[in-house]
């Protein structure tokens, strides 16, 4: 009989089974303890001896920034690369080189870590890679800076070559300010131009204008039925002045290869002249490129049939296919409009000068003759004139819409002639004195403005369009017998128009503002509260800065820059707004071509030295296209 607690040996399927329960339990405990010790040893060793992979993760993140660059095509123009913000083709090369550098560094780091593991390197040794990676990041930043410096140097060399090939007129480029803060502001305006141009190129290339919110082309009735690339022609001289040479080259090539008016129908004679004729003439004067002269002659010749009226006063619209012309139906019984037929002189005189063809100058001299001889009520020029009878239409006089650029072209014709066109000077000062007598007003708080004169009664309203006249008065003051008087008048108008901006929620001015009762420099009608990227206020700031050097004009211009970026900039360009008195209000989804031709150009020049487009060498047409002053600025023509 077995002893108590001891089981007899048994066999199950030939395998002996322990006979002691106590012995069985002890073995189970040893096995469990061994498992826990093994697991703890593995975890502790992994924590102490495996390399820290966090830095690798950070490098991998940096590495990912250089992947997935997409290169879409846009209209056969070439390749443009866009990441989140949009970059050019040169940026791809920079990213590729930096990406390759990081890949090489990663391979080297992996190799060292592997060797370190084989040599049983400590965790502290592995963590030392962190400082090495930071050093590499700094080296990459330095490398990028050096490459950017080389790129800028290359662009300057290219610019120098282009200037040698296309010498153009004096003061066409340059003018960088020495003050760092002013240079930063000028560069900020240049970035606005880059944003506006790049998005037009991306979304509306070849169209007349851009819809920056809906990302498509836009065209107004003034351009007829074809896509004429109005923004390209309007913007090209701004690109050149801003030394954006790659963008300018693309614009120049499109004009050379694609710009023509064949197949178009009715066009606004005035708008075609100030934008296309004026734009191409300015490009010719700035660069000396003969191609522009050849293009502009073809376009100007299509406008000439509009001048075939009994009085020689041109009609407003011309059909470029048939040669027929007509006036707007709403314009006082079929009349021509003063601001339109009065704004050909600068372009047509210069066109005759560079082509040797007198016909263009003869056309505008005829207009001048009619206006000089016709009787003027109270010395004023009404906005409407019948081209058939040569008589005034509705008795409505305004320095703003319908009248504005006629007065501007009188004083600028005198400037353009090298101070020889005495008739233009006399007509200008006679007109200004008549407006001073009948239309110049002062508000209760002392703000000066020019009211509209309608059949003997005043309407106390001033248009945004009329705000250009502050700069006009300052320009005319240089040739006046009473310079101080007209400089003060220019300053007074500049102040009033700035107030129209400052009194709005957006710090942008309305299309028209009034002085009625308690209202001063504010719009009270809904259809006058919009802002469509107009330039006239900043145009006056530009002239007042050039002539006075008072800091407030640069300050006001910078306020406008900030307001534009805050209220009008969208991801696809710049848009107008429908109510300047509402922050975050609705937008009109149109980037006007004159925003690139005028608004941004005047802002850029305000923050430039006077040596770029100096006013003793150049005179601006009403679309801000600079034309040379006779005898002061000669252009060396070169073959295309």
* Binding-site residue positions for Ca(2+): 622
Ramachandran assignment for 390, one of left (phi > 0), alpha (psi -120 to 50 degrees), beta (any other): left
Burial of 470 (0-12, 13-18, 19+ CB in 10 A): buried
- Phi, psi angle pair for 45, to nearest 5°: -65, -40
Distances (CA, A) of 624 to 194, 335, 396, 461, 618: 18, 27, 27, 25, 11
Beta bridge mates, 218: 209
Q: How far apart are CA 609 and CA 474, in angstroms?
A: 18
378 classed as catalytic: no
Cα torsion through 420, 421, 424, 426, rounded to 10: 50
Q: Residue with structure tokens 């008589």?
A: 391
Q: How far apart are CA 260 and CA 256, in angstroms?
A: 9
**Residue among 55, 234, 237, 271 flagged as catalytic:** 271
Q: How far apart are CA 509 and CA 501, in angstroms?
A: 4
3-state helix, strand, coil in the chain (%, to 5): 55, 10, 35
59, 66 contact by CB (below 8 A): no
Distances (CA, A) of 406 to 127, 375, 399, 496, 626: 76, 17, 9, 22, 17
138 classed as catalytic: no
- Phi, psi angle pair for 357, to nearest 5°: -95, 115
- Phi, psi angle pair for 86, to nearest 5°: 95, 120
Q: How far apart are CA 276 and CA 233, in angstroms?
A: 6
234 classed as catalytic: no
Contacts of residue 338, Cβ cutoff 8 Å, sequence gap at least 6:
381, 382, 383, 384, 385, 402, 403, 406
Q: How far apart are CA 499 and CA 493, in angstroms?
A: 10
Q: How far apart are CA 20 and CA 37, in angstroms?
A: 27
**Residue among 347, 421, 536, 539 flagged as catalytic:** 536
Q: How far apart are CA 545 and CA 475, in angstroms?
A: 11
Annotated binding residues, written as ranges, equal 622
Q: How far apart are CA 120 and CA 495, in angstroms?
A: 78
Q: How far apart are CA 466 and CA 408, in angstroms?
A: 11
Q: How far apart are CA 135 and CA 327, in angstroms?
A: 72
**Residue among 243, 421, 511, 539 flagged as catalytic:** 511
340 classed as catalytic: no
**Residue among 209, 247, 347, 404 flagged as catalytic:** 404
CA neighbor of 619 nearest in space, from 366, 421, 367: 421
Q: How far apart are CA 359 and CA 20, in angstroms?
A: 129
Query: What angle, rounded to 10 degrees, do the helices at 245-258 and 230-241 form?
Result: 150
3 state SS of 38? helix
Ramachandran assignment for 419, one of left (phi > 0), alpha (psi -120 to 50 degrees), beta (any other): left
Q: Cite the active site residues.
A: 271, 404, 511, 536
């Amino acid at each position: 009989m077995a002893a108590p607690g001891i089981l007899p040996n048994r066999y199950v399927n030939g395998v002996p089974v322990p006979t002691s329960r106590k012995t069985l339990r002890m073995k189970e405990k040893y096995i469990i303890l061994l498992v826990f010790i093994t697991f703890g040893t593995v975890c502790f060793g992994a924590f102490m001896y495996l390399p820290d992979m966090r830095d690798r993760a950070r490098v991998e993140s940096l590495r990912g920034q250089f992947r997935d660059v997409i290169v879409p095509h846009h209209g056969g123009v070439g390749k443009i690369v866009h990441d989140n913000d949009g970059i050019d083709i040169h940026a791809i090369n920079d990213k590729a080189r930096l990406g390759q550098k990081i890949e090489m560094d990663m391979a080297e780091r992996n190799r060292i870590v592997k060797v370190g593991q084989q040599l049983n390197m400590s965790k502290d040794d592995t963590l030392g890679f962190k400082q090495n990676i930071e050093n590499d990041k700094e080296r990459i930043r330095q490398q990028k800076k050096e490459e950017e410096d080389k790129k800028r140097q290359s662009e300057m060399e290219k610019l120098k070559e282009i200037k040698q090939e296309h010498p153009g007129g004096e003061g066409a480029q340059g003018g960088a300010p020495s003050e760092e803060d002013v240079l930063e502001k000028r560069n900020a305006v240049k970035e606005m131009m880059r944003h506006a141009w790049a998005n037009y190129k991306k979304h509306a290339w070849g169209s007349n204008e851009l819809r920056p919110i809906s990302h498509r082309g836009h065209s107004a009735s003034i351009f007829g039925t074809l896509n004429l690339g109005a923004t390209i022609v309007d913007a090209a001289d701004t690109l050149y002045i801003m030394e954006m040479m790659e963008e300018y080259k693309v614009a120049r090539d499109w004009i050379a290869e694609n710009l023509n008016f064949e197949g178009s129908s009715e066009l606004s004679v005035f708008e075609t002249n100030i934008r296309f004729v004026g734009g191409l003439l300015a490009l010719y004067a700035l660069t000396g490129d003969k191609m522009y002269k050849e293009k502009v002659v073809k376009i100007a010749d299509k406008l000439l049939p509009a001048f075939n009226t009994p009085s020689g006063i041109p009609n407003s619209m011309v059909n470029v296919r048939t040669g027929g012309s007509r006036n707007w139906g709403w314009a006082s019984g079929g009349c021509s409009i003063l601001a339109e037929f009065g704004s050909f002189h600068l372009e047509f005189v210069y066109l005759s000068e560079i082509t040797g063809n007198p016909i263009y100058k003869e056309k505008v001299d005829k207009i001048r003759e009619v206006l000089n001889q016709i009787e003027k009520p109270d010395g004023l020029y009404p906005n409407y004139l019948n081209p058939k009878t040569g008589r005034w239409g509705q008795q409505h006089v305004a320095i703003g819409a319908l009248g504005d650029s006629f007065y501007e072209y009188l004083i600028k014709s005198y400037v353009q002639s090298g101070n020889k066109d005495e008739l233009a000077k006399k007509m200008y000062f006679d007109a200004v004195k008549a407006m001073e007598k009948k239309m110049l007003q002062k508000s209760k708080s002392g703000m000066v403005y020019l009211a509209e004169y309608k059949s003997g009664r005043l309407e106390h309203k001033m248009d945004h369009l009329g705000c250009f006249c502050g700069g006009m008065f300052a320009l005319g003051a240089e040739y006046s017998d009473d310079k101080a008087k007209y400089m003060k008048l220019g300053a007074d108008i500049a102040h009033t128009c700035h107030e129209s901006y400052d009194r709005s929620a957006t710090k942008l001015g309305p299309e028209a503002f009034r002085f009625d009762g308690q209202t001063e420099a504010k719009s009270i009608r809904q259809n006058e509260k919009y802002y469509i990227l107009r330039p006239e206020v900043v145009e006056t700031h530009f002239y007042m800065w050039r002539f006075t050097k008072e800091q407030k004009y640069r300050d006001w211009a910078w306020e406008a820059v900030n307001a534009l970026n805050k209220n009008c900039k969208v991801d696809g360009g710049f848009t107008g707004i429908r109510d300047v008195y509402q922050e975050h209000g609705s937008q009109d989804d149109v980037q006007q071509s004159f925003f690139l031709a005028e608004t941004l150009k005047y802002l850029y020049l305000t923050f430039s030295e006077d040596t770029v487009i100096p006013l003793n060498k150049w005179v601006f047409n009403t679309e801000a296209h600079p034309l040379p002053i006779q005898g002061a600025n000669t252009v060396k023509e070169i073959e295309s």
